[in-house]
């Protein structure tokens, strides 16, 4: 274990679609704070490509694409580590992902979570510093199935993609409700295709006492109505193996996870499988888990002395600065590419009254600063950051320090459920109380 002092700063989703102007108000203050980190992480929520190819049949909610020069903008803040394993990684198919990997390689920013094969996507990436060697392992649970990278075999090369964390969902029902689901399945023949495939051996048989309702809903008997989610064991073991390897190769291990999933209608609640995943990563040897994805803050937990950020929210939000998209994007809203993007966004947001741009929480985030001595976390400070909710699209979405921001009260309250105490301290910062 490295015996020197070490500092890590981290940010959530940088949803960037255009260049960042030099010297905008707040940039230097943010760069000063982030730059105090020997290692500084962010999640790139966009693809990097030249627009010469085609859009995918599916996307992460929008088709996100930026010029490689935006990675130079990321460096203005002091970032030197990143992930781009998220639900937008495949917005422009494999060709777009490959260009993103190439741009990330050229930028010199250490990156993890995507690769030309599953082995490369899952492998730790390393940042070598005088203070020690830092490993980054990254994954995403929010994705379409074809986005997952494929393993290389003796006969075929691997498939480019993301390091996936799949999860299993199960709904427990009392016997009378389970019988109702079975009757519904039998009456509608919703499982007919899968039933045939099971008889022919192409799908495994349903476990005893389980009832399927289509391809994505599975039920079993329980004492009460309850949803159960759990991390996919195969994916979990792969990520734990990467942590095991990183323990041998590095002094500090950061795990990044992009996860939109939620257990109920409250987006601020992390899903049960995500909590399981984060705890198992810490148990396996990770020093910190950095979550992002749902475009808002989620609770902070200190688990066995190690911090878990279930979501840091958006570091940058330019979701409505997309200059144009594939025809599929317009067709999602019964438009064509003869329409303007303003028309598209107006229709998607019901007259700019719904969506991320209308939710102030998407414009509220924090930058944590983790200070280590002799390999132990000794201080954890939080800088509140505001992205300019309600401002014109030309300037909104850019991060600026917001010391003592009122939204911190919400983070303080939601973190109490995880036995985490957050208190205000000097200069408008906040600090997580760490036990000895």
pLDDT reported for residue 99 = 97
pLDDT reported for residue 435 = 86
- Strand 6-15 with 314-317, pairing: parallel
Residues 93 and 117 sit within 8 Å (Cβ to Cβ): no
* Residue 38 burial by Cβ neighbours in a 10 Å radius (0-12, 13-18, 19+): buried
Residue 2 pLDDT exceeds 70: no
Percent of the chain past pLDDT 90, that is, above it, reads 97
| Mean pLDDT of the residues in the chain | 96
pLDDT reported for residue 289 = 98
As a whole number, mean pLDDT of residues 137-165 equals 97
Percent of the chain past pLDDT 70, that is, above it, reads 99
* Residue 276 burial by Cβ neighbours in a 10 Å radius (0-12, 13-18, 19+): middle
pLDDT reported for residue 3 = 52
As a whole number, mean pLDDT of residues 270-283 equals 98
As a whole number, mean pLDDT of residues 338-355 equals 96
As a whole number, mean pLDDT of residues 410-431 equals 96
Please name the residues in contact with 8: beta carbons below 8 A apart, sequence gap of 6 or more: 37, 38, 39, 40, 41, 134, 252, 254, 288, 369, 370, 372
Rounded Cα distance between 360 and 352, Å, is: 13
- pTM value is 0.96
Please name the residues in contact with 364: beta carbons below 8 A apart, sequence gap of 6 or more: 296, 297, 313, 384, 385, 386, 387, 389, 405, 407
Residue 1 pLDDT exceeds 60: no
Residue 188 pLDDT exceeds 90: yes
As a whole number, mean pLDDT of residues 226-239 equals 97
Residue 371 pLDDT class (50, 70, 90 cuts): very high
pLDDT reported for residue 284 = 98
Rounded Cα distance between 127 and 134, Å, is: 5
């Amino acid at each position: 274990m490295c015996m020197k002092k070490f500092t890590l700063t981290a940010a959530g989703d940088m949803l960037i679609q255009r260049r960042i102007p030099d010297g905008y108000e707040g940039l230097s203050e943010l760069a000063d704070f982030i730059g105090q980190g020997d290692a500084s992480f962010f999640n790139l929520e966009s693809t990097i490509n030249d627009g010469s190819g085609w859009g995918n049949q599916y996307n992460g909610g929008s088709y996100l694409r930026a010029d490689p020069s935006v990675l130079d903008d990321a460096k203005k803040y002091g970032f030197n580590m990143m992930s781009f394993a998220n639900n937008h990684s495949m917005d422009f198919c494999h060709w777009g992902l490959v260009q993103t990997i190439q741009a990330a390689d050229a930028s010199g920013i250490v990156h993890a979570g995507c690769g030309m094969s599953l082995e490369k996507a899952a492998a730790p990436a390393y940042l070598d510093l005088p203070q020690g060697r830092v490993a980054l392992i990254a994954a995403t649970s929010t994705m379409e199935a074809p986005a997952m990278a494929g393993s290389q075999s003796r006969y075929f090369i691997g498939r480019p993609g993301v390091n996936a964390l799949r999860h299993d969902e199960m709904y427990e029902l009392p016997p009378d409700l389970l019988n109702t689901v079975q009757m519904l399945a039998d009456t509608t023949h919703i499982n007919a295709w899968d039933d045939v495939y099971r008889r022919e051996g192409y799908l495994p048989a349903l476990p005893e006492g389980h009832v399927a309702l289509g391809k994505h809903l599975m039920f079993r008997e329980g004492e009460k109505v309850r949803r159960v989610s759990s991390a996919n064991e195969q994916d979990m073991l792969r990520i734990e193996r990467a942590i095991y390897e990183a323990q041998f190769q590095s002094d500090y291990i950061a795990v990044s996870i992009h996860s939109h999933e939620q257990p109920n209608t409250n987006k601020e609640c992390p899903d049960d499988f995500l909590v399981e995943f984060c705890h198992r990563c810490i148990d396996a040897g990770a020093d910190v888990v950095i979550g992002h994805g749902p475009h808002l803050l989620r609770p902070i937990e200190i688990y066995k002395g190690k911090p878990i950020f279930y979501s840091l929210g958006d570091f940058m939000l330019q979701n409505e600065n997309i200059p144009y998209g594939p025809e599929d994007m317009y067709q999602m809203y019964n438009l064509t590419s003869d329409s303007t993007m303003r028309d598209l966004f107006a229709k998607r947001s019901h007259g700019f009254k719904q969506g991320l741009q209308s939710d102030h929480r998407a414009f509220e985030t924090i930058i944590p600063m983790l200070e280590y001595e002799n390999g132990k976390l000794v201080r954890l400070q939080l800088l509140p950051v505001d992205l300019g909710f309600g401002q014109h699209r030309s300037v909104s979405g850019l991060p600026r320090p917001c010391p003592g921001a009122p939204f911190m009260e919400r983070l303080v309250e939601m973190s109490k459920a995880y036995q985490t105490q957050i208190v205000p301290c000097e200069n408008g910062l906040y600090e997580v109380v760490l036990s000895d």
